[in-house]
Amino acid sequence: MKRRMTISRLAFLSFLTILLASCVHVPDMLPLDSLTDRSVIEQCGRPFVKSPYRFVHAIEAGLPGGRTATLMGVTVVDPEAKSLHSVLMTLEGLVLFDGEYDGTLSVKRAVPPFDRDSFARNMMEDIRLLFLAPENTSAQAGVSADGSVLCRYRGKEGETIDVTVQPDHTWRIETYATPFERFREIKAGALKDGMPGELELRGYSAGRYTLRLKLVDAEPVSAAAQPAEDEADGG
Amino acid sequence: MMSLKNAVKGIFFSILLLACFLTAGWGESWEDINRETAGIESIQAEFTQHKHLKILTKPLVSKGRFYFQKPDSIRWEYRSPVKSILLIHRGDVKRYTLGSRGMVEDSSGALSSMQVVVQEIGLWSQGRFTESTHFKAEIKGGKKREIVLTPREEAFAAIIARIVITPSPERKGVIRSVKIVESEGNYTVLDFTDVRMNEKIGEAVFRKAG
């Protein structure tokens, strides 16, 4: 009796594994050659910032339990320095989080519940994935029947990063350890001059959450456009 | 237990109320303010919010409209860049924000915010500014008078360094600006225009987001 139960349990697990495996969509891709198809593969760089940029977004955070909270976010991204500076604040302008990452993370200000180390780390990971190209530039690439270009990168922690640029130039980014262990998923849309008016990030690893970023302002950062010293006067 | 974030949010709106009470005509002393606040029934005004941050080259500008009805009803409505409405009415606090699912209620921390707001309103509506548990108030300056509020508690001082309220020199009883200084280089300036006092405001304004 006990043996029969074990066999049926094993059979069920096998069935479940096959079922789950069959759910994984492996797109039919025509492999691209890194030399001859270089211009096509370069499309995978479209999502990422090429020069220092400053973004202001209205961020709608979807939290567990169906709750939502809307914040304003200011982000400065420098792809050469691989640095990020992010400020989160309430609509009324009260700063809840101010942090920088340039290889090491430094938090200048964090109001509870944004003062947890894990929050700062995860947030910087979110921003890095949204705006900065993967550090490992060598990618497996392919093009699908509908013309979408997919590039698969290996991340720093061994995770897989899939960047898919669709024919309408919108894109999707996914990171995962295995097809069953997804970390993040990003969808970009409402493009205007190549800039996404809307970004949606779904996080799966550190509690499930959704961030919908609506672009309010974007401008290149140059030395001449640095904040003036007198602006730093708090009055 | 009220979170610091919610308390700060509540205090922010309390500051706005303080600013509006001061529009009713304030004098050189707390006694003058106390006397003048007795005549206020309602206030409504347009506002422009300039958020200055070190990370920004130009301030982030938000615009909206503000309504207050004695004793403690508030509608603080942003029109841009994000449409959002905070309603405080008869002890009930609700916030609605336009998002991907339309105008939806933002449920975070409403009750805690309300507790702080009501607590502060209770004092200020009676002109008892100096009794606030959160801020120490001081009248400064001669001709160019300012009211400076500084946090009493260390926890708040880490978030808000001071608040400076400047009255309009042209129009008696109207403030020119409210400046909330968080840290060096990070501050918010609220400018009020089209200030109207003691005009009838329908109750629905404080109950409905639409």
What pLDDT is attached to residue A25? 46
The answer to whether the Cβ–Cβ distance between A93 and B62 falls below 8 Å is yes
Task: Give yes or no for residue B113 having a pLDDT over 50.
Answer: no
- Could you tell me the residue range of the domain that residue B86 belongs to? 4-207
- Residues of A near B (CB-CB distance < 8 A)? 54, 56, 58, 60, 67-70, 72, 74, 76, 85, 87, 89-96, 98, 109, 111-114, 212, 214, 216-217, 219, 225-228, 231-235
Q: pLDDT band for B172, please (50, 70, 90 cuts).
A: low
The answer to whether the Cβ–Cβ distance between A70 and B84 falls below 8 Å is yes
Task: Find chain A residues with C-beta within 8 A of B106's C-beta.
Answer: 67-70
| B85: Cβ contacts below 8 Å, ≥ 6 apart | B75, B76, B77, B78, B95, B96, B97, B103, B209
Query: Which among A38-52, A121-135, B129-143 has the top mean pLDDT?
Result: A121-135
Q: What is the DSSP string of B4-23?
A: HHHHHHHHHHHHHHHHHHHT
The pTM for the full model equals 0.83
Task: Give yes or no for residue A229 having a pLDDT over 70.
Answer: no
CA distance B147 to B30: 10
Q: pLDDT band for A136, please (50, 70, 90 cuts).
A: confident
Task: Measure Cα distances from A86 to A121, A128, A214, A232 in Å.
Answer: 12, 11, 16, 17
Rounded to 5 degrees, what angle do the CA atoms B62, B66, B68 make? Answer: 160
**Model pLDDT for residues A146-204, shown as the tens digit of each residue:** 899 999 999 888 899 999 999 999 999 999 988 788 899 999 999 998 899 999 999 98
Distance in Å from the first CA to the final CA of chain A: 80
Task: Give yes or no for residue B122 having a pLDDT over 50.
Answer: no
Burial of B71 (0-12, 13-18, 19+ CB in 10 A): exposed
**Model pLDDT for residues B58-110, shown as the tens digit of each residue:** 999 999 998 888 887 889 899 999 999 988 888 788 889 999 889 988 865 44
**Model pLDDT for residues A47-92, shown as the tens digit of each residue:** 999 999 999 999 999 887 778 889 999 999 999 999 999 999 988 8
Task: Give yes or no for residue B114 having a pLDDT over 50.
Answer: no
Q: Which residue of A has its CA nearest to B164?
A: A235
Q: pLDDT band for B197, please (50, 70, 90 cuts).
A: confident
CA distance A96 to A109: 7
φ, ψ of residue A203 to 5 degrees: the values are -105, 135
Instruction: Kindly list the domain boundaries of chain A, sorted by start residue.
Output: 28-47+136-179, 49-132+192-218
- Residues of B near A (CB-CB distance < 8 A)? 3-5, 8-9, 12, 49, 51-57, 60, 62, 78, 81-82, 84, 97, 99-101, 104, 106-108, 159-161, 164, 179-188
What pLDDT is attached to residue A128? 95
**Global ipTM:** 0.82
What pLDDT is attached to residue A67? 82
Which of B127-147 are b and which e, b meaning 16 or more Cβ less than 10 Å from the residue's Cβ? bebeebebbebebeeeeeeeb
Q: Which residue of B has its CA nearest to A235?
A: B181
CA distance A155 to A35: 22
| B92 and B80 Cβ atoms separated by less than 8 Å | no
Question: Residue B74 maps to which CATH number?
Answer: 2.50.20.10
The answer to whether the Cβ–Cβ distance between A94 and B188 falls below 8 Å is yes
Task: Give yes or no for residue A131 having a pLDDT over 90.
Answer: yes
Count: domains in chain B? 1
